[in-house]
Structure 1
Amino acid sequence: MLTAQQALDHLLSHAKAVAESESIPMQAALGRVLAKNVDSLVDVPPLDNTSMDGYAVRTADLQNSGSILKIAQRIPAGSVGTQLESGTVARIFTGAPVPLGADAVVMQEDCSIPEGSTDQVQVNVMPLVGQWIRRRGEDLKAGKTALTAGTFLRPQELGVAASAGLTHLNVKRRVKVAAFFTGDELSLPGEPLKPGGIYNSNRDTLLACLKSLGCDATDFGIVPDKLNATKETLRKASKDHDLIITSGGVSVGEEDHIKPAVMAEGRLDLWQIAIKPGKPLAFGAVRKSVDPTDGETWFIGLPGNPVSSFVTFLLFVRPFILKLQGREAGQAQSYFMRADFDWLKVDRRNEFLRVKLNSSGGLDLFPNQSSGVLTSASWGDGLVDCPPNQAIKAGDLVKYIPFDALLK
Structure 2
Amino acid sequence: MSSAATRATGQDHVWSVAEHLADVLETVRPLEPIELQLLDAQDCVLVEDVTVPLSLPPFDNSSMDGYAVRVADVAGASEKYPAALSVVGDVAAGQAEQPHVGPGEAARIMTGAPLPPGAEAVVPVEWTDGGLGEGPVTGMRAHSAAPEQASGVVHVHRPAEARAHVRAEGSDVRAGDRALEAGTVLGPPQIALLAAIGRGTVRVRPRPRVVVLSTGSELIQPGEKLAPGQIYDSNSFALTAAARDAGAIAYRVGAVADDAETLRATIEDQLVRADLVVTTGGVSVGAYDVVKEALESVGDQDEEGGGVEFRKLAMQPGKPQGFGSIGPDHTPLLALPGNPVSSYVSFELFVRPAIRTLMGLDDVHRPTTRAKLTTDRTLTSPAGRRQFLRGTYGDGKVTPVGGSGSHLVAALAHADALIVVPEDETSVEPGAEVEVVLLR
TM-score (norm 1): 0.74
Residues 89-129 of structure 1: CA deviation (Å, up to 9, x unaligned): 555443222334555555566x45599675221326x64x5
Residue from 29, 40, 50 that aligns with 1:16? 29
Deviates more, 1:244-253 or 1:215-224: 215-224
Separation (CA, whole Å) in 2 of partners of 1:281 and 1:27 = 37
Please list, as runs of the form range in 1=range in 2, the aligned pairs for 1:140-151 lying within 5 A after superposition.
140-141=173-174, 146-147=179-180, 151=184
Q: Report the Cα offset of residue 204 of structure 1.
A: 2.0
Separation (CA, whole Å) in 2 of partners of 1:65 and 1:361 = 58
Does residue 1:120 correspond to 2:155, yes or no?
yes
RMSD: 4.3
Deviates more, 1:366-375 or 1:73-82: 73-82
Residue from 196, 200, 203 that aligns with 2:236? 203
Q: Which residue of 1 aligns with 2:388?
A: 351
Please list, as runs of the form range in 1=range in 2, the aligned pairs for 1:334-345 lying within 5 A after superposition.
341=375, 344-345=378-379
Task: Provide closer, same or farther for how the CA distance between residues 330 and 361 of structure 1 changes in structure 2, counting only shifts above 3 A.
Answer: closer
Larger radius of gyration between Structure 1 and Structure 2: 2
Residue from 329, 332, 335 that aligns with 2:366? 332
Q: Report the Cα offset of residue 376 of structure 1.
A: 2.8
Q: Which residue of 1 aligns with 2:195?
A: 162
Preserved contact between residue 180 and residue 221 of structure 1 (Cα < 8 Å): yes
Separation (CA, whole Å) in 2 of partners of 1:70 and 1:324 = 66
Q: Report the Cα offset of residue 391 of structure 1.
A: 3.8
Q: Report the Cα offset of residue 352 of structure 1.
A: 4.5
Separation (CA, whole Å) in 1 of partners of 2:288 and 2:99 = 83
Residue from 405, 408, 413 that aligns with 1:373? 408
Preserved contact between residue 385 and residue 401 of structure 1 (Cα < 8 Å): no
Q: Which residue of 2 aligns with 1:94?
A: 111
Does residue 1:249 correspond to 2:266, yes or no?
no
Q: Report the Cα offset of residue 345 of structure 1.
A: 0.6
Does residue 1:219 correspond to 2:253, yes or no?
yes
Preserved contact between residue 353 and residue 386 of structure 1 (Cα < 8 Å): no
Residue from 280, 283, 296 that aligns with 2:320? 280
Q: Which amino acid in structure 1 is aligned with residue 111 of structure 2?
A: T
**SS across alignment from 1:18:** coil
Residue from 303, 312, 317 that aligns with 2:346? 312
Separation (CA, whole Å) in 1 of partners of 2:195 and 2:269 = 41
Separation (CA, whole Å) in 2 of partners of 1:352 and 1:317 = 18
Please list, as runs of the form range in 1=range in 2, the aligned pairs for 1:132-147 lying within 5 A after superposition.
132-141=165-174, 146-147=179-180
Q: Which residue of 1 aligns with 2:217?
A: 184
Length, aligned pairs only: 389
Preserved contact between residue 272 and residue 281 of structure 1 (Cα < 8 Å): yes
Separation (CA, whole Å) in 2 of partners of 1:3 and 1:60 = 77
Q: Report the Cα offset of residue 32 of structure 1.
A: 4.9
Preserved contact between residue 84 and residue 102 of structure 1 (Cα < 8 Å): yes
Separation (CA, whole Å) in 2 of partners of 1:199 and 1:95 = 57
Q: Report the Cα offset of residue 134 of structure 1.
A: 2.5
Separation (CA, whole Å) in 1 of partners of 2:49 and 2:133 = 58
Residue from 49, 59, 67 that aligns with 1:47? 59
Preserved contact between residue 69 and residue 88 of structure 1 (Cα < 8 Å): no
Separation (CA, whole Å) in 1 of partners of 2:22 and 2:73 = 65
Q: Which amino acid in structure 2 is aligned with residue 297 of structure 1?
A: T
Preserved contact between residue 54 and residue 197 of structure 2 (Cα < 8 Å): yes
Deviates more, 1:130-139 or 1:335-344: 335-344
**SS across alignment from 1:119:** strand
**SS across alignment from 1:203:** helix
Separation (CA, whole Å) in 1 of partners of 2:372 and 2:157 = 55
Q: Report the Cα offset of residue 64 of structure 1.
A: 6.1
Task: Provide closer, same or farther for how the CA distance between residues 134 and 399 of structure 1 changes in structure 2, counting only shifts above 3 A.
Answer: farther
Which runs of 5 or more residues in structure 2 are unaligned?
1-13, 135-152, 299-305
Task: Provide closer, same or farther for how the CA distance between residues 274 and 139 of structure 1 changes in structure 2, counting only shifts above 3 A.
Answer: farther
Which runs of 5 or more residues in structure 1 are unaligned?
289-293, 404-408
Share of identical aligned residues, percent?
A: 31
Q: Report the Cα offset of residue 247 of structure 1.
A: 0.2
Please list, as runs of the form range in 1=range in 2, the aligned pairs for 1:63-78 lying within 5 A after superposition.
66=78, 68-73=82-87, 74-78=90-94
Residue from 326, 336, 342 that aligns with 1:302? 336
Task: Provide closer, same or farther for how the CA distance between residues 278 and 51 of structure 1 changes in structure 2, counting only shifts above 3 A.
Answer: farther
Task: Provide closer, same or farther for how the CA distance between residues 119 and 22 of structure 1 changes in structure 2, counting only shifts above 3 A.
Answer: closer
Q: Which amino acid in structure 1 is aligned with residue 341 of structure 2?
A: V
Separation (CA, whole Å) in 2 of partners of 1:392 and 1:56 = 71
Separation (CA, whole Å) in 1 of partners of 2:254 and 2:436 = 37
Q: Which amino acid in structure 2 is aligned with residue 47 of structure 1?
A: F
Separation (CA, whole Å) in 1 of partners of 2:128 and 2:431 = 59
Q: Report the Cα offset of residue 202 of structure 1.
A: 1.0
Q: Report the Cα offset of residue 323 of structure 1.
A: 2.2
Task: Provide closer, same or farther for how the CA distance between residues 60 and 283 of structure 1 changes in structure 2, counting only shifts above 3 A.
Answer: farther
Separation (CA, whole Å) in 2 of partners of 1:92 and 1:342 = 68
Preserved contact between residue 174 and residue 216 of structure 1 (Cα < 8 Å): no
